[in-house]
Amino acid sequence: MATNDDSWVLITGASSGFGEEFARQYAAKGHPLVLVARRLDRLQALAESLHRKYGVKVVVEQVNLSDVAAVTGLHARLRDRAIAVDILINNAGHGLQGPFLDTQIDGALDMVQLDIASLTAMTRLFGQDMRGRGRGKILLVASLLAYYGVENMAVYGAAKAYVLRLGDALHREFKRDGVTVTSLCPGMSDTGFAQAAKQKITFALKLLMMKPEPVVRAGIRALHAGRMSVVPGFNNKAAAAMVWATPRWLHQAIFARIMNG
C-alpha cells in the first residue's frame, strides 16, 4: 500500500543540515511533519516558516536521542496524539574526528548511542506500527564512510557501516510487510556536520563537498522508488566504485589522505 501526501513524516535531526532540507522538501510536497532534535528554537523557527509557506501541520519534539529511553517517550507521545508516522527519516547523527586513543570516551559512546542505538530503537518502534498498517517508508542516513574504515574517524565509520548493514537486511525483511527501508550514503556535504565533528576540511574535501539539496532529493527519490540504498553525486559514486575495484590497503590509504590531509 502506498503512502500519500497526507502521510506524516518524522525527521530526526531536523534543526540543521540534511534534516532541515528533508523538512523543506517534504513540506513542499504537502506532508505534515514531526521535527525532532535538541535545539528547540531552531525547530520552532523552521516549523513556523514551513507552516506559513506551505500550510502544512508541523509538530516539534525536543528530544535528546543520545538517551535511548527518550525514543520510547517520543513514540508514546505521538501515539497519544494519534499521529501515525508513515515516513521515518532516521537522520540525526554526528561524527567525531581524532585519534581513537586520544578522543574522549564519553564523546565516542554518545555517538554510538545516537548513531546506532537510537536509530535502531526508532526503526523498531515505528517499523512495528508500519507493519500493523501494512505500509511505510524508512530512510536510514548512513555515509560513504560506511564502505571503508578511515583513520581518525574509526568509531563514526564503524557506526555508519552498522547503519548500512542494518538497512540492507531490513530492506528485505520489511518488504514482505509493505514497508520500504532505504539507506542514503552521502559523502562530504555542506551542513553543520564538520563543525560538530571537529572535522578538518581538507582541500580535497572542499572539492568534493555537496550541498544538502541534491543529497536529500536523491534520498527521497530512492526511498519512494523502493531502492535498497543510494550514494548521491557522481564523485561519491566513483568513490564507492573504487572500494569494489581496488584492494583495501590502497583505497584506505587514499581515503585517509583525503580525510586527514
Ligand X SMILES: NC(=O)c1ccc[n+]([C@@H]2O[C@H](COP(=O)([O-])OP(=O)(O)OC[C@H]3O[C@@H](n4cnc5c(N)ncnc54)[C@H](OP(=O)(O)O)[C@@H]3O)[C@@H](O)[C@H]2O)c1
Closest CA to 184 of 155, 210, 150, 153: 210
Stretch that binds ligand X, among 1-9, 27-35, 86-94, 232-240 (CB under 6 A): 86-94
Answer for which of 114, 125, 139, 170 binds ligand X (CB under 6 A) is 114
Per-residue binder mask for ligand X (CB under 6 A), 35-74, x = binder: --xxx-----------------------xxxx--------
Q: How many residues bind ligand X (CB under 6 A)?
A: 29
Burial class (CB in 10 A: 0-12, 13-18, 19+), 205: middle
Q: Which residues does 182 contact at the CB level (< 8 Å), separation at least 6? A: 137, 138, 139, 140, 167, 171, 219, 222, 223, 226, 227, 228, 229, 230
Query: In the numeric block, which cell numbers belong to residue 129?
Result: 506500527
Stretch that binds ligand X, among 1-9, 17-25, 53-61, 224-232 (CB under 6 A): 17-25
Burial class (CB in 10 A: 0-12, 13-18, 19+), 164: buried
Tell me if 214 contacts ligand X by CB under 6 A. Answer: no
Answer for which of 18, 147, 174, 255 binds ligand X (CB under 6 A) is 18
Long-range contacts of 165-170 (CB under 8 A, 24+ apart): 166/119, 166/120, 166/123, 166/140, 167/140, 167/142, 167/228, 167/229, 168/228, 168/229, 170/123, 170/127, 170/138
Tell me if 150 contacts ligand X by CB under 6 A. Answer: no
Stretch that binds ligand X, among 130-138, 192-200, 236-244, 253-261 (CB under 6 A): 192-200
State the Cα–Cα distance between residues 66 and 173, nearest whole angstrom: 26
Stretch that binds ligand X, among 16-24, 47-55, 100-108, 230-238 (CB under 6 A): 16-24
Nearer to ligand X, 145 or 179 (CB): 145
Instruction: Let me know if 156 is a catalytic residue.
Output: yes
Tell me if 8 contacts ligand X by CB under 6 A. Answer: no
Answer for which of 3, 7, 9, 16 binds ligand X (CB under 6 A) is 16
Answer for which of 189, 232, 236, 259 binds ligand X (CB under 6 A) is 189
Which residues are near ligand X by CB under 6 A?
Answer: 13-19, 37-39, 63-66, 91-95, 114, 141, 143, 186, 188-189, 191-193, 196
